[in-house]
Amino acid sequence: MGAQAVLRTRRIELVPLGDEHLEAEVELDSDPEVMRYLTGRASTRAEVVERHRRRLAVAHVVPGLGFWAALVDGAFVGWFILEPPERPDQGPVAGQAELGYRLLRRHWRQGLASEGARELLRHGFADLGLARVFAETMAVNAASRATMAALGMTHVRTSHLDQADPLPGTELGEVEYATTRAQWLSRAGAGPASA
């Protein structure tokens, strides 16, 4: 398995994130509502440029994993990620990936996050041979938690990470949701999960 695949769902084309998506990432991260449970404020252009560099680097850690730009009718609506675990408490890098998603606010509540993420679960388990996919968010991030639940991921733990500058709601902790390949296969039944 080499470079990241191009993936498609009914509405979304998922293409490996590239420099051509930088301006859209700047727009995405400059919305304080999008960043509410991440940094709690709009990002500056310089911050997004630095983040973009790190996002591209993720594609070089484990073959097949990385960031995908999500396009609907050719226009950027947000991004999805499958990335290797970064912290020791997240478990082994081999066979695991962390799922994430971030969409422009005008595209929320249209089923796009669950549609794109469902395809990434399929890709991770069926094409890349992953054993487990997990996702983390602040306990108070209802939209993200509902998306995880909609994907069939289940709550594993709530933890309290030491943070220098905690956001409102940090006191309720960070939640981890996960699903294993076996669970995904049993949910998908005999056929692939429909997108």
Token pair for 175: 């939640």
Could you say whether residue 109 binds ligand COA (CB under 6 A)? Answer: yes
Instruction: Work out whether 54 is an interface residue with ligand COA (CB under 6 A).
Output: no
- CA 40 to each of CA 29, 37, 74, 169, 193: distance values in angstroms, whole numbers, following the listed order: 11, 6, 30, 11, 34
> CA 5, CA 144: separation in Å to the nearest integer?
24
Q: Count CB neighbours of 157 within 10 A.
A: 13
Give 22 or 29: the residue with its C-beta nearer to ligand COA: 29
Report the nearest approach of ligand COA to the CB of residue 139 (Å). 11
Nearest to 137 by CA among 66, 81, 54, 55: 81
Touching ligand COA, residues 112-171 (CB under 6 A): 112-114, 137, 141-144, 146-147, 150
Report, in Å, the least distance between residue 38 CB and ligand COA. 6
Is residue 34 a contact residue for ligand COA (CB under 6 A)?
Answer: yes
**Is the CB of 130 or the CB of 151 nearer to ligand COA?**
151
Rule CB under 6 A: is residue 103 a binding residue for ligand COA? Answer: yes
